[in-house]
A = this chain, B = another copy of it.
């Protein structure tokens, strides 16, 4: 089987052949094929959204999501939650010498397929090769650009006490899927990563909610609890979520109990937290449920004036406890 060698990262002939035979073959579009140092792309708005993320997930192939799919979804979702329309993606590969070219091609095909579903173009790329044992298989960076079709910007600044917290579906699927593959665990039911490009769903929510949509964020590393802690403001508001409404798949729940993990801290790659004015809560839930990635959407909490700066969990027994940020690493290299 053909392997990646140091010469594939030289910038010379072998780099050009790899780019042509693997990357261009699957990412095919007129901007990328131009092979200039920069992609020159059209933007239709005066402001753009710009984001970057590196992916080091291990193993690189898990049920429901390989590193390529995750790398596209992660950046697509980061742009989408800003309210922007995702347009362009770049990808930077760091590959360990000895990596199978056929595995690379599988990853690239998965990236191309996910980009197609999301309706985004991969317009710029870079490939570096490091020696054996200087990296662990493959790392992928994706950066992305989105444009806006209106002047309204989502943000923490829009959030007010009384706003509702909606989650688009079940929690913990991605982290547990990766972990089960890594540890060769077999659970009774097959657990799949939720990894998905959410941009089309999220855009349809923005359309129905207008300026009553306050804020969105995808709870990846650190899970729901950490992400909510990033949102709360010590000066103006807290968040209380209600345990009984938080959706967790039975198989994920079982795996978490077995492994001593809390699904509220586990990474998701296909979920979004949506904070809305109560007046559009039902409309937003209805819209989410029409979408394949939002069918389990549910309101899980509310923005509160009291307990500013804190995230509280109302347990099934009616007790409130503080949900802190993740302090140590539960699951390294989960994305």
Chain A residues engaging chain B, CB cutoff 8 angstroms: 5-7, 9-16, 34-56, 78-79, 81-82, 84, 88, 90-94, 123-126, 128-131, 133-136, 139, 141, 143-146, 153, 155-156, 217-218, 220-222, 226, 230, 265, 267, 324-330, 332-333
Contacts and interface: CB of A to CB of B under 8 A. Distances in A.
Main secondary structure of the interface of A (DSSP, over half): mixed
A51 B78 contact: no
A85 to B, nearest CB: 12
20 contacts: A6-B332, A7-B329, A11-B220, A12-B325, A12-B326, A12-B328, A36-B82, A37-B51, A37-B217, A38-B144, A40-B48, A41-B47, A42-B47, A48-B145, A50-B124, A51-B90, A52-B143, A53-B92, A54-B93, A126-B141
B128 A52 contact: no
Contacts of A155: 34, 36
B54 A153 contact: no
Given A37-B217, A50-B123, 8 more contacts: A10-B330, A38-B51, A39-B50, A50-B145, A55-B128, A56-B130, A126-B141, A131-B332
A226 B41 contact: no
Contacts of A144: 38
A179 B171 CA distance: 49
B49 A39 contact: yes
A52 B125 CA distance: 6
Contacts of A93: 54
B12 A222 contact: yes
A10 B326 contact: yes
List the 3 shortest-distance A-B pairs measured between CB atoms, nearest first.
A11-B221, A12-B326, A11-B222
Contacts of A50: 38-41, 88, 90, 123-124, 145
Nearest to A144: B38
B40 A153 contact: yes
B143 A143 contact: yes
Nearest to A43: B48
Contact of A43 (B43, B135, B143, B265): B43
